[in-house]
Chain A
Amino acid sequence: MSTEARQVVVVTGISGNLGRTLTKLLHRTERIVGLDRRPFAGAPKDVELFQLDLRKKKAEDVFRIHDVKAVIHMGIMHDPRMSSEEHHSFNVVGTTRVLDAVAKYGVKKVVVLSSANVYGPSPDNSNFLSEDAPLMAASRFSGVRDLIEVDMLAHGFFWRHPDIETVILRPVHIVGPSIRNAPSNYLRLRYPWVLAGFDPMLQLVHQEDAARAMVEALRPGLKGVYNVVGPGEVPLSAVLRELGRTPIPVPHPIARPLLGTLFRYRLANFPPPELDHIQFLCMVDGSRWTADVGWVPGHSMKDTIRSVDGERAAA
């Protein structure tokens, strides 16, 4: 049939909430083949899903059967409750397999979704980190080592295969109605902790803008590492005020051990190193991305902030 003849875009991790947002955006213009071990209920009919683990040999079949023109690799997980072994294997081995397949089957474009968190929050940080800043996140939070490794694997791939357009996107905190990552979950708390005396500036990007960035990255000719920013910078306190939250100030010397205990007994879902994000700066300079793709986020700052309550408000 004609489907075989048409070129496809392979999306890994498509069943996640960001994957679904991306699908909605992309499936009208591109033929999508999804790759995820989770089911994708309610997927559009024109999306072909392979429910497979990226690490399995069978995942390669996707590349064998189809004429793949691009890969969007977002099948990267970050779950602090998962064993670090499983975490590491899924992210690092999974990414390696995907990149190997890209090279082997002559795919011309690969977009890897990394994160601005790879730089890591720190009191030493410049206010706006550019793409060549060192990836320091693991020095304070070893749980994110594999995420840095994924970024570096893609980086190494970029240099080894100059003929393949490799794009590494490092978006700032992605938030949105259906996103379940640490920043979105934190902002949904009715009584969020804040660290007494600290009010760092934050950058947020709406999930739809993050998805659109991945689509933009497919543009022919574009390659390299890009920080992706949203509608700007805002103090943490202003975000919580906008959402009508009641912040609980906790002195930072006791916050860490206290959160450590709560996390261990499953009374809190944030590992203590996440506190760095509400204490120190981890902001990026997105000017390169803005210049190269003419990036304008579709959602305003107020919209982006309020979006974390989106679904709840609708329900």
Chain B
Amino acid sequence: MFERLSEEARQRLKRLTLEMAGDRAPALEALAQRSNGEFGVDPFGFDPDYALSAVAPFVWLYKKYFRVETHGIERVPSGRVFLVGNHAGQIPIDGAMVGVAMLLEHDPPRLVRAMTEKWAASLPYVSTLFARSGQIVGTPENCRRLLQMGEVVMVFPEGVKGISKLWPERYQLKDFGLGFMRLALETGTPIVPVAIIGSEEQAPALLNLRSVGKLIGFPALPVTVTPLPLPAKYRLYFGDPLTFSGSADDEDTELDKKVRVVKTTLQGLIQQGLEERKNVFW
């Protein structure tokens, strides 16, 4: 019975997504038909049809709450590509907004595969929701596989350090990991930097109770000023694709030089976005 109930809820959510998508609905439906085997999922457990239902609340947030504005989304090339963004806002809504933008604004619509924290795979319901909607535990092997399949993969090289930034550090990029560059070189994947403006204001935090978080198994525990995310206006700036050449087995210092290029470009885009912004909320 529960199964039928949840199936009904799922169909309703899917209709909601398609309604909000407006004239993009047929393109989205075509995407959901992507062949996915006799049990409705691909080998990763991804079900595009399910993803359209799961994305409904985020489409609402995108349209009505954060009123997202995108710039330069046509710069995202077809085929395998890395989207590299700045991480902020205590809860990973930023990634979801980029994902919705690629569904609603990019032509043709593309389903973004994000790399999640390993922690997520140990959470009930969350782990299943993530798997069905195409979010995969962020191991290098998984990422390599997705790129080889020609997918668009969202990464936040700052990791948890980025998302749990405190208010005084907003829009300052933390150290970047090198893993994404190694994979980009290995698979010949272009990198599109994506500056996300608005995420820092959605949930300002003044302190991070990391040690308490550790006790309950959370990677970070920022204490936010407001219980719910604030309706800051989101602006997404997509940069030109960057391609790098070199060996994936180079010394870390070599890779770091290339990563720095990405970081500098992204910081530039962020600066541009902040300058163009007149008001945080509209």
Contacts and interface: CB of A to CB of B under 8 A. Distances in A.
B44 A201 contact: yes
Interface stretch (B75-83, B96-104, B125-133, B234-242): B125-133
B124 interface: yes
B128 A197 contact: yes
A302 B119 CA distance: 32
Contacts of A197: 123-128
Interface stretch (B22-30, B33-41, B258-266): B33-41
Contact of B137 (A126, A199, A232): A126
A235 B39 contact: yes
B214 interface: no
A252 B124 contact: yes
A233 B119 CA distance: 23
A233 B43 contact: yes
Nearest to A241: B3
B128 A233 contact: no
Interface string B99-139: 00000000000000000001101111111100100001101
Interface string B57-80: 000000000000000000000000
Nearest to B122: A123
A198 B127 CA distance: 7
A127 B142 contact: yes
Given A233-B43, A234-B39, A238-B39, A198 B145 contact: no
Nearest to A233: B43
A127 B136 contact: yes
B124 A201 contact: no
A198 B124 contact: yes
A124 B124 contact: no
A125 interface: yes
A7 B106 CA distance: 66
A126 to B, nearest CB: 4
Interface string A135-173: 000000000000000000000000000000000000000
Contacts of B37: 232
B45 interface: yes
Nearest to A302: B38
B275 interface: no
A214 interface: no
Contacts of A128: 43, 141, 145
Given A251-B124, A280-B121, A201 B38 contact: no
B203 to A, nearest CB: 25
Interface residues of A, number: 26
Contact of A233 (B45, B137, B139): B45
Determine which residue in A126, A200, A252, A281 has the highest number of CB atoms from chain B within 10 A of its CB, and name it: A126
A196 B141 CA distance: 28
Interface string A48-84: 0000000000000000000000000000000000000
Interface in B129-174: 131, 136-137, 139, 141-142, 145
Interface in A247-290: 251-252, 280-281
A192 to B, nearest CB: 15
B125 A201 contact: no
A107 interface: no
Contact of B121 (A123, A195, A302): A123
Contacts of A252: 124
Given A201-B44, A232-B43, A301-B38, A127 B121 contact: no
A187 to B, nearest CB: 15
Please give me the 7 A-B residue pairs with the lowest Cβ-Cβ distance, nearest first. Answer: A197-B124, A123-B121, A197-B125, A126-B141, A123-B122, A126-B139, A238-B39
13 contacts: A123-B118, A123-B121, A125-B139, A126-B139, A127-B137, A127-B141, A197-B124, A198-B124, A200-B45, A201-B131, A232-B37, A280-B121, A280-B122
